[in-house]
A = this chain, B = another copy of it.
Amino acid sequence: MLTKSTEYAIRALVYIQLRNNLNQRPGVFEVANEIEAPAAFTAKILQTLTKHELIGSMKGRGGGFFFTDQKKTLSLYKVISIMEGNSVFTRCGFGLSQCSDSNPCPLHHRYAAIRDGYLQIAQTETIQSLAAKIERGEAVLNTLSKNT
């Protein structure tokens, strides 16, 4: 469904939010380690997220990544759009470039329902809502941490 880059981005942002909640600013290596992604690749993704101002960054000693506005929420939809565009929410499930309610492919009606459900998730879930679930022990961020 999502590209690896997008998945890494979402996991990284959730981790950053978790650390920010403890008044800490994780760096590239810490983030990469926690989300179980290659460090150099994680650095590139964090660069992208910073360039698009989803997060802020500080260079130099004690630097790292952080959310600039602790009150705002960030929807998965926005993260996905920035990382890979929104075609996952619009593409035809049959591969047709022209496919719509009025000119449907044979999968259209059923597939569009599923796709819209996915869009709903992406629009309503946020980095903060995911982080909260982890903080409440209802979910895990990575393979390492078992919440037993």
Contacts and interface: CB of A to CB of B under 8 A. Distances in A.
Interface of A: 1-2, 4, 7-8, 10-11, 14, 88, 91, 93-98, 103-108, 110-111, 113-114, 117-118, 121, 125, 129-131, 133-134, 138-143, 146-147
A102 to B, nearest CB: 9
Contacts of A111: 121
A108 B139 contact: yes
B105 A139 contact: yes
27 contacts: A1-B1, A1-B88, A1-B91, A2-B95, A8-B95, A10-B94, A11-B94, A96-B140, A96-B142, A103-B140, A103-B146, A103-B147, A104-B138, A105-B140, A105-B141, A106-B129, A106-B130, A106-B139, A107-B121, A107-B125, A108-B139, A110-B121, A110-B125, A113-B117, A114-B117, A114-B118, A117-B117
Copies in the complex: 2
A143 B96 contact: yes
A118 B88 CA distance: 14
A33 to B, nearest CB: 15
B134 A94 contact: no
Given A107-B130, A121-B110, A94 B7 contact: yes
A17 B97 CA distance: 22
